[in-house]
Amino acid sequence: MKRLLKLFSIVGVALLLLTVTGITGVIADKLKFYFEVARLYSKEPDRRIAMPLEEVSKRQIADTWGAPRGTDRRHQGQDIFAPRGTPVFSATSGFVYNIGENSLGGQTVSVIGAGGRLYYYAHLDRYAPGLQEGDRVTTSTVLGYVGTTGNAQGTPPHLHFGIYTASGAIDPLPLLTDRTTPRVTNAAPRRTPNRLRI
Ligand SMILES: [Zn+2]
């Protein structure tokens, strides 16, 4: 009986230790995140940001900033059209601030960047696998894929891209710069798969 009690107490202490270290780990992560976000706030906002879609040039964006949407709303962003499933890259470095669904934006990701600006990516078909709030991102990070969720249902697939500052939304178009993806001019010869002939 005594032995059994001892075993129980050992297991109990072990479980308690696991829980406490787990919780402090979470708190430490949260503190680190807030510290990093505070550091971002103190930085100057990015003056140039990368096009979220690799193959789309800035010239291809029809400027719809401020265009009326219904009777009581104006377009607070730019729409970037591309086939469904096109990867959406972060336009800036920063941290994933929010991953969530709303009626207008559908599936959305918000990234907080330098100067505390929020970069908003909406109508996503799906999120990048494993992406979580608090993740550090760079301009090479895929956030999700172009789609038609939210009020984009029934329209050609596009990314709604918005930028929010402390004083409200600003037009992303003047800040956007094309991605300079080097075009492959001398494509490597196609390798034959190393496969057993059967
Ligand atoms: Zn839009």
Q: What mean pLDDT comes out for the span 90-98?
A: 97
Residue whose token pair is 């969530």: 100
Residue 130 Cα to ligand 1 midpoint, Å, equals: 26
pLDDT at 70: 86
* Three-state secondary structure string covering 142-156: EEEEEECCHHHCCCC
Q: How far is the CA of 66 from the centre of ligand 1 (A)?
A: 10
Model pLDDT, residue 98: 97
pLDDT at residue 188 tops 70 = no
Q: How far is the CA of 162 from the centre of ligand 1 (A)?
A: 8
Q: Is the pLDDT of residue 194 over 50?
A: no
Distance 107 CA to ligand 1 centre (A): 13
Whether this model's pTM surpasses 0.75:
yes
Residue with tokens 């402090």: 24
Centroid of ligand 1 to alpha carbon of 29 (angstroms) = 34
